[in-house]
């Protein structure tokens, strides 16, 4: 069993084995699902709506992704 403590500001550190299992890195979003008296923690998957190229197929080439990567 893996545990962590809650600080006075309601913060905690996600233990390294959990970060490794979920392949979490700095900046990743975490999804919490409440199921009765339990909470399931998962890595949030980026929604295609966040990807401007998902809507416009004509901008889906690798060259376009490189050209617009910084936007």
The ranges assigned to domains in the chain are 16-67
Single pTM value for the model: 0.59
What are the residues facing 26 on neighbouring strands? none
- What would the two tokens of residue 16 be? 């390294």
Q: How far apart are the first and last CA of the chain?
A: 43
**Spatial CA neighbour of 28 closest among 16, 45, 40, 15:** 45
Residues of the chain with pLDDT under 50: none
pLDDT for position 70: 78
Distance of CA 66 to the CA centre of its chain: 22
Q: For position 47, what pLDDT does the model report?
A: 59
Output the pLDDT for position 55: 64
Residue corresponding to tokens 């990807």: 51
């Amino acid at each position: 069993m893996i545990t962590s403590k809650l600080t006075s500001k309601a913060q905690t550190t996600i233990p390294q084995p959990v970060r490794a299992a979920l392949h979490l890195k700095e900046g990743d979003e975490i999804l919490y699902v409440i199921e009765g008296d339990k909470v399931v923690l998962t890595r949030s998957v980026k929604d295609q709506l966040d990807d401007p190229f998902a809507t416009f197929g004509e901008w889906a080439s690798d060259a376009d992704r490189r050209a617009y990567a910084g936007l």
